[in-house]
Structure 1
Amino acid sequence: MKKYAGYMIDLDGTIYRGKEKIPAAKRFIERLQAAKIPFLFVTNNSTKAPEQVVENLAKNFDIHVTTANVYTTAMATADYISELDETKKTAYVIGELGLKQAILDRGFTFVEQDPDYVVVGLDYDVTYHKFELATLAIRNGSKFIGTNADTNLPNERGLVPGAGSLIALVECATQQKPEFIGKPEKIIMEKALKRLGVAKDQVVMVGDNYMTDIKAGINSGIDTMLVYTGVSTKEQVKKEAIQPTIQLDSLDEWNI
């Protein structure tokens, strides 16, 4: 059994399901902390700032980490667009506070007319007007960025619409495909790996969703660990040509 020097770990469906605890996940994180093994939560959920992620983990799941352990698709998106062109600093954003704050922190100004970038993420209060502004801007030449392609998000009620479902509407209305940042794309993985500071052949990507978490590892040449506590099922994964490096029913099964 391979010993890893670093772990990238999904949140939704892996560490918790909405408001529902996954007790084995807490024990898993505590084993990593006890062994002083670096880990980074790499999440496609763009709605929360790192401070909110840390607070949620502590308050609702008794998992105690710092913001240094968190890398969201909002952070990756902001990092990415800030590095594309230093002269382009305007954006129109469909998303929650986590995404908007990450982009503001990188020096962007929000505008509704002719932005350099239109960024679409998960937005719990999305409206037709927001879609309208995004569509018009993209059709007029703004670069279309999608935080992540997840069509669904696992919570305590089941699989609810994810960012990818909202992005698909804009894609349909504009007839343009976005540039995606989050898992399974390499962009977020490369930036997360840099933050973690561990060689990619010594890291494993842990998640519950084959189509995002596991494919992100596969696309980036990183080992993968699929835990069946969220989106993917064994029946679905059996049909995939490339299998996860490790498959678990529970994180309790893994020896750090």
Structure 2
Amino acid sequence: MIDLDGTIYKGSERIPAAKDFVERLQAAKIPFLFLTNNTTRTPEMVCDFLSSKHDIYVTPDQVYTPSLATASYISHQNGGDASKKSVYIVGELGLKKAILNTGIKLNEYDPDYVVVGLDYDLTYHKAELATLAIKRGGMFIGTNADTNLPNERGQVPGAGTVIAFVERAVQKKAFYIGKPERPIMDAALDKMGLNAEDVVMVGDNYNTDIMAGIHAGIDQLLVYTGISTPEQVAQREVQPTHVVNSLSDWDV
């Protein structure tokens, strides 16, 4: 399982070792799944971005997002048919498309679910609608807790920052789907058809990628190309299974 932002790229900025790392996995026929916390793109959009900006070629079934995991969670909660339920969504196309593909209906007043993720056009009004809908009884789901997102401009606000806005307003925590929580990890293992002991979680963020592996009983490979620094990680009680400065240092 491989993180994207900060591990394979930083926005449009390339991480030189990433392309070679993916191609070595492909040449060795080692199965992999890009397990990102970014909900803004669909898997097809992720593949287009990887090929056009980073010269990395994969298929949509090799990409898994909290959007898909959230849709799966809602669907399973309703016996595979969410068509009689409703949702209000704060987020981008990737999140909205995945959730609405379950057949669930949009409802900004008194929905059964309120899903909040990264929204590049976040407004007070959107947060207000989410807050009121949660207060009326909607289940509050947060896509992922990332406070920052590494891109070519630096560490910009992530979904966790948006969700924290609503959490403060409703005075309760969201139910989180994405890394480091179990729902996305269990769903990703199921998608890969593998057991936890057969997988390693590769990522740059101790708080999400590495903790996700720890929570799910999956070995971890931390790469220092994104969020976490050696100084920060040294303070952690539980250390990653493996640590590298660059993915070129890892023998697949």
User: Scaled by the length of structure 2, what TM-score is found?
Assistant: 0.97
Question: 1:21 maps to which residue?
Answer: 14
Q: Name the amino acid aligned to 2:244.
A: L
Note if contact 1:82-1:89 (Cα within 8 Å) is conserved in structure 2.
Answer: no
- Is the counterpart of residue 110 in structure 1 residue 103 in structure 2? no
Q: Name the amino acid aligned to 2:196.
A: K
Q: Name the amino acid aligned to 1:181.
A: I
Note if contact 1:46-1:121 (Cα within 8 Å) is conserved in structure 2.
Answer: yes
Q: Name the amino acid aligned to 1:153.
A: L
- Is the counterpart of residue 41 in structure 1 residue 34 in structure 2? yes
Q: Distance between the aligned counterparts of 1:241 and 1:175, measured in 2? A: 30
Q: Distance between the aligned counterparts of 1:210 and 1:70, measured in 2? A: 21
Q: CA deviation at 1:85?
A: 2.6
Q: CA deviation at 1:101?
A: 0.1
Q: CA deviation at 1:89?
A: 2.0
Deviations 1:82-131 (A, max 9, x none): 11134652100000000000001111111111000000000000111101
- SS of the residue 2:239 aligns to: coil
**2:58 pairs with 36, 54, 65, which one?**
65
Bigger CA drift: 143-152 or 103-112?
Answer: 103-112
Q: Distance between the aligned counterparts of 2:66 and 2:88, measured in 1? A: 17
Q: Distance between the aligned counterparts of 1:151 and 1:64, measured in 2? A: 29
- SS of the residue 2:33 aligns to: strand
- SS of the residue 1:10 aligns to: coil
**2:149 pairs with 153, 175, 187, which one?**
153
Deviations 1:123-161 (A, max 9, x none): 000111101110001011110000000011000111100
Question: 1:125 maps to which residue?
Answer: 121
- SS of the residue 1:75 aligns to: helix
- SS of the residue 1:91 aligns to: strand
Task: Give the total of aligned pairs.
Answer: 249
Question: 1:230 maps to which residue?
Answer: 226
Question: 1:188 maps to which residue?
Answer: 184
Note if contact 1:11-1:41 (Cα within 8 Å) is conserved in structure 2.
Answer: yes
Deviations 1:18-46 (A, max 9, x none): 11001101000000000111000001000
Extract structure 1 runs of 4+ deviating beyond 6 A. Answer: none
- Is the counterpart of residue 205 in structure 1 residue 198 in structure 2? no
Q: CA deviation at 1:199?
A: 1.8
**1:178 pairs with 152, 174, 178, which one?**
174
Q: CA deviation at 1:253?
A: 0.6
Bigger CA drift: 192-201 or 138-147?
Answer: 192-201
Q: Distance between the aligned counterparts of 1:250 and 1:40, measured in 2? A: 19
Note if contact 1:206-1:227 (Cα within 8 Å) is conserved in structure 2.
Answer: yes
Q: Distance between the aligned counterparts of 1:153 and 1:243, measured in 2? A: 23
Q: Name the amino acid aligned to 1:40.
A: L
Q: Name the amino acid aligned to 1:180.
A: Y
Q: Name the amino acid aligned to 1:16.
A: Y
Q: Distance between the aligned counterparts of 2:21 and 2:113, measured in 1? A: 39
- SS of the residue 1:39 aligns to: coil
Q: Name the amino acid aligned to 2:77.
A: L
Q: Please list every run of 5 or more consecutive structure 2 residues that lacks an aligned counterpart in the other structure.
A: none
Q: Distance between the aligned counterparts of 2:221 and 2:122, measured in 1? A: 34
Q: Distance between the aligned counterparts of 1:140 and 1:199, measured in 2? A: 40
Q: Please list every run of 5 or more consecutive structure 1 residues that lacks an aligned counterpart in the other structure.
A: 1-7
Question: 2:47 maps to which residue?
Answer: 54
Question: 2:5 maps to which residue?
Answer: 12
